[in-house]
């Protein structure tokens, strides 16, 4: 019998629903071509829903999401909601609740896509950042003392547990081995200043490395990592880092791979339910215009299928995306693609159907 998956869908705010529609179009096409089926359950949460109802993340939604095989998220964020409420109340809460301790972000420049880095091609920009996604500065430890007085103190602590760090590092080694490219894993940290947190990271890294003699290890401070990502991105194969540094360097990564219209990510619990999203946000000013690039959302479905074990279908999606980027879309920026959002989805789906995915 054909495999059937339950996928929870959170279209969310702004351009989220538009790009999610194209992701679902592509998922359906891939499922039909590769012989599996998908049932979707849509969840209406986000800024719009919060403003209407005051609800952020109802218990019933959490329950539904935790029963799915995977989650596909468009974007959460609304200009009329104070920063922090939705981020902490939905996105970060889901990552923590579902223990999605890996944030996987490929940085890959596809042929035909503009990079602001001179003289670098798709040969040079092809690495993956594995960001720890459940601890660090994001854990929410700390507080405000004497708030609003001249003696005010703000403390925000980075939490790094041996268990949390080690499972992330181990995942990174495994991923690097499976990827089978340069077989090089770089730890990105700040051992010269954050001498507690990155002392633990460094020790865990080199201890785990003993189990992976086939993987070359390397270390770079986070500031130097930013420099090398621009100057010599070809040095990287897989990079593992903490939550905050991972957040920052993956925005830089998104820019060198062609922008937010391309960058996809996965919040992964290797033993549980994972959640995939384009990392660009809700882009409110483009909402409803059908000009936003859906490729990041479509590439998120590729990561989703890889994670649930539909590798062939995932590869086909990436192949079709490669073809669209190389042959069809001339500029990946919103409004400059020469195609509408839904036409780009049609192009990708069309190539999957006709098997034109071997680029
Ligand atoms: C990301 C985003 C989030 C983060 C925000 C929206 C909380 O920037 O997914 O990178 O900081 O993790
Ligand atoms: Mn970010």
Look at strands 70-75 and 275-278 and give their pairing: parallel
User: Which bound ligand lies closest to the C-alpha atom of 252?
Assistant: 2
Look at strands 102-108 and 126-132 and give their pairing: antiparallel
For a pocket test of ligand 1, which of 16, 92, 156 has the largest count of ligand atoms closer than 8 A to its C-beta? 92
Quote the CA–CA distance of 329 and 127 in Å, as a whole number.
23
Task: To the nearest 10°, report the CA torsion of 244, 249, 255, 257.
Answer: -120
Quote the CA–CA distance of 301 and 19 in Å, as a whole number.
11
**What is the per-residue pLDDT across 49-58, written as a single tens digit (0 to 9) for each?**
999 999 999 9
Quote the CA–CA distance of 32 and 261 in Å, as a whole number.
26
Quote the CA–CA distance of 302 and 286 in Å, as a whole number.
24
Q: Counting beta carbons within 10 angstroms of the beta carbon of residue 57, is it exposed (0 to 12), middle (13 to 18) or buried (19 or more)? A: buried
- Give the residue whose CA is nearest to atom 4 of ligand 1: 247
Report the separation in Å between the CA atom of 204 and the middle of ligand 2, taken as the mean of its atom positions.
25
Residue 2: band (very low, low, confident or very high) from pLDDT cuts 50, 70, 90: confident
Report the separation in Å between the CA atom of 151 and the middle of ligand 2, taken as the mean of its atom positions.
31
7, 9, 27, 12: which is closest to 67 by C-alpha? 7
Q: What is the pLDDT of residue 359?
A: 79
Following DSSP, what letter does each residue of 282-336 receive, concatenated? --GGGTTSS-S--HHHHHHHHHHHHHHT-HHHHHHHHHHHHHIIIII-S--STT-
Domains annotated for the chain, with CATH where assigned, are: 1-113+261-359 (3.40.718.10), 115-257 (3.40.718.10)
**What is the per-residue pLDDT across 215-256, written as a single tens digit (0 to 9) for each?**
999 999 999 999 999 999 999 999 999 999 999 999 999 999
Residue 100 reports pLDDT greater than 90: yes
Report the separation in Å between the CA atom of 340 and the middle of ligand 1, taken as the mean of its atom positions.
27
Residues having CB closer than 6 A to ligand 1 are 87, 91-92, 247, 279
**What is the per-residue pLDDT across 186-212, written as a single tens digit (0 to 9) for each?**
999 999 999 999 999 999 999 999 999
Contact present, 140 and 203 (Cβ < 8 Å): no
- Give the residue whose CA is nearest to atom 11 of ligand 1: 247
Q: What is the pLDDT of residue 163?
A: 98
Burial 89-99 (b: 16+ CB within 10 A, else e): bbbbebbbebb
Report the separation in Å between the CA atom of 75 and the middle of ligand 1, taken as the mean of its atom positions.
11
């Amino acid at each position: 019998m054909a495999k059937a998956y339950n996928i929870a869908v959170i279209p969310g705010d702004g351009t989220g629903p538009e790009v999610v529609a194209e992701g679902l179009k592509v998922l359906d096409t891939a499922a039909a071509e590769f012989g599996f089926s998908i049932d979707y359950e849509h969840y209406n949460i986000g800024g719009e829903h919060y403003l209407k109802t005051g609800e952020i993340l109802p218990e019933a939604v959490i329950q539904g999401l935790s029963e799915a095989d995977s989650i596909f998220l468009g974007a959460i964020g609304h200009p009329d909601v104070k920063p922090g409420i939705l981020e902490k109340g939905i996105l970060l809460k889901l990552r923590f609740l579902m223990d999605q301790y890996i944030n996987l972000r490929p940085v890959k420049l596809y042929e035909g896509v503009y990079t602001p880095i001179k003289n670098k091609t798709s040969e040079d920009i092809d690495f993956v950042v594995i960001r720890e996604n459940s601890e660090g500065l994001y854990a929410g430890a700390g507080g405000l003392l004497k708030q609003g007085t001249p003696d005010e103190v703000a403390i925000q602590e980075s939490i790094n547990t041996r268990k949390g760090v080690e499972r992330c590092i181990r995942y990174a080694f495994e991923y690097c081995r499976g990827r089978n490219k340069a077989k090089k894993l770089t730890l990105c940290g700040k051992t010269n200043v954050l001498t507690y947190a990155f002392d633990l990271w460094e020790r865990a890294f080199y201890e785990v490395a003993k189990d992976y003699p086939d993987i070359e290890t390397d270390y770079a401070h986070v500031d130097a990592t930013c420099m090398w990502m621009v100057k010599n991105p070809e040095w990287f194969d897989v990079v593992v880092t903490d939550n905050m540094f991972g957040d920052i360097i993956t925005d830089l990564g998104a820019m060198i791979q062609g922008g937010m219209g391309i960058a996809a990510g996965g919040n992964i619990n290797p033993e549980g339910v994972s959640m995939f999203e384009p990392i660009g946000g809700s882009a409110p000013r483009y909402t409803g215009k059908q000009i936003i690039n859906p490729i990041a959302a479509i590439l998120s479905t590729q990561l989703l299928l890889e994670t649930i074990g539909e590798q062939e279908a995932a590869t086909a999606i990436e192949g079709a995306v490669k073809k669209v980027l190389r042959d069809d879309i001339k500029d990946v920026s919103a409004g400059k693609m020469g195609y509408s959002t839904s036409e780009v989805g049609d192009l990708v789906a069309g190539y999957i159907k006709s098997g034109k995915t071997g680029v």
